Amino acid sequence: MTEYQTFDIEGHTLVALQLNPDATGKPVILVHGITGNIAAWQFNPLPFILEQGPCTSLSLPGHFPAAFPSRFQQEQLTVEMLARIMAKAICRMVGEQPVTLIGRSTGGFAALNIAAHYPEMVSRIVSIAGFAHGRWIGFLGFQQRLVRMGKAGRILFKAFYHLTGASPGVFRRVLHYYANGSNDMYTDSDSVQVIELNLFNYRNLDLDAMAQYFLVMPEMDISSLLPQIRVPTLAIAGDRDQTVPPDESRKITSLVPNAELTLIPGVGHLSFFECPHEYQARLSSWLQKTR
């Protein structure tokens, strides 16, 4: 049975999963994307990440098995709240040690946000298809517009998630919308098991909490905070991303003083699935260089 660490922080339940609890070195915190979960990093994590130090997968607030406080209102979902709650969870895990933050999509946003508000906590950042401004395009952008249509829109939003979680086959098919026409995403057994592992938590998402994220994220913009980040930062993305525009990664590297951009050609939002060998080579090289 998987053993999670659970933290009660200002009424929020945050959950973390230690991937290599016996490792030594500087801690690494891994953050998933919107509607994702800590299981995203659990199965067969990349060896070169595990070699960096103790690695922990941390939930975004409100993402199962994490949970918002009861009676949580969307007005409480702010840039400052996300940074504060996640920073407190990290402090509970590692104390005052600076950490490497690695985040995918909204997890990349969260990593940048924490570093901008609490610079002393962070030694390096990796933003994978991340962003500074949460106004999405494509499928996620459509869902953002949907929840803004009122009650009917929210009903359709929830129906979509019930449908996409109906079976592993439907779930895999929907993931293709985030890729750039890749036919190689599910050719190895690891990818299949990752999807099955994530599907359980996906089915248990609090859809009211997810609707709050989709309502609020278009108004969240940390661009003005990025120049405060001074640690080595990597923005890695596919140049055909139809969910988070690649210009968001370009913006990050233009505003963060010590940032490096790497765009993978022909790849969409799921570079780690679509082009795993090149993705791993670029990320591994940067982590080794900045170690």
- Residue 107: CB atoms within 10 A of its CB come to 29
Report the pLDDT value the prediction gives residue 226, as an integer from 0 to 100. 98
Report the pLDDT value the prediction gives residue 15, as an integer from 0 to 100. 97
Report the pLDDT value the prediction gives residue 169, as an integer from 0 to 100. 84
pLDDT tens, position by position, 253-270: 999 999 999 999 999 999
Q: How many domains does the chain contain in total?
A: 1
Question: Per-residue pLDDT averaged across 234-244, rounded?
Answer: 96
pLDDT tens, position by position, 202-222: 999 999 999 999 999 999 999
pLDDT tens, position by position, 119-137: 999 999 999 999 999 999 9
Instruction: Identify the band that residue 197 occupies on the pLDDT scale cut at 50, 70 and 90.
Output: confident
Q: Cα(236)–Cα(270) distance, rounded to whole angstroms?
A: 11
Question: Per-residue pLDDT averaged across 20-33, rounded?
Answer: 94
Report the pLDDT value the prediction gives residue 258, as an integer from 0 to 100. 95
Q: Cα(291)–Cα(279) distance, rounded to whole angstroms?
A: 18
H/E segment holding residue 12: strand 12-18
The enclosing domain of 120 has a CATH number of 3.40.50.1820
Report the pLDDT value the prediction gives residue 274, as an integer from 0 to 100. 87
Report the pLDDT value the prediction gives residue 291, as an integer from 0 to 100. 86
pLDDT tens, position by position, 72-115: 999 999 999 999 999 999 999 999 999 999 999 999 999 999 99
The answer to whether residues 270 and 110 touch, using CB atoms and an 8 Å cutoff, is no
Q: In what order do the strands lie in the sheet with 259-264?
A: 5-9, 12-18, 55-58, 28-31, 99-104, 122-128, 233-238, 259-264
pLDDT beyond 60 at 65: yes
Report the pLDDT value the prediction gives residue 177, as an integer from 0 to 100. 83
Which residue did the predictor score with more confidence, 184 or 263?
Answer: 263
Report the pLDDT value the prediction gives residue 191, as an integer from 0 to 100. 61
Residues of the domain holding 166: 5-290
- Residue 21: CB atoms within 10 A of its CB come to 10
Cα 185–Cα 189–Cα 191 angle in degrees, nearest 5: 40
Instruction: Identify the band that residue 174 occupies on the pLDDT scale cut at 50, 70 and 90.
Output: confident
Report the pLDDT value the prediction gives residue 40, as an integer from 0 to 100. 83
Question: Per-residue pLDDT averaged across 167-194, rounded?
Answer: 72
Report the pLDDT value the prediction gives residue 192, as an integer from 0 to 100. 66
Provide the CA 241 distance to its chain's centre, in angstroms: 15
Distances (CA, A) of 182 to 24, 37, 54: 37, 23, 33
The answer to whether residues 13 and 67 touch, using CB atoms and an 8 Å cutoff, is yes
CB contact set of 72 (below 8 Å; sequence gap of 6+): 11, 62, 209, 212
pLDDT beyond 70 at 187: no
Report the pLDDT value the prediction gives residue 56, as an integer from 0 to 100. 96
Encoded tokens for 256: 């963060």
pLDDT beyond 50 at 1: no
Amino acid letter for position 275: C
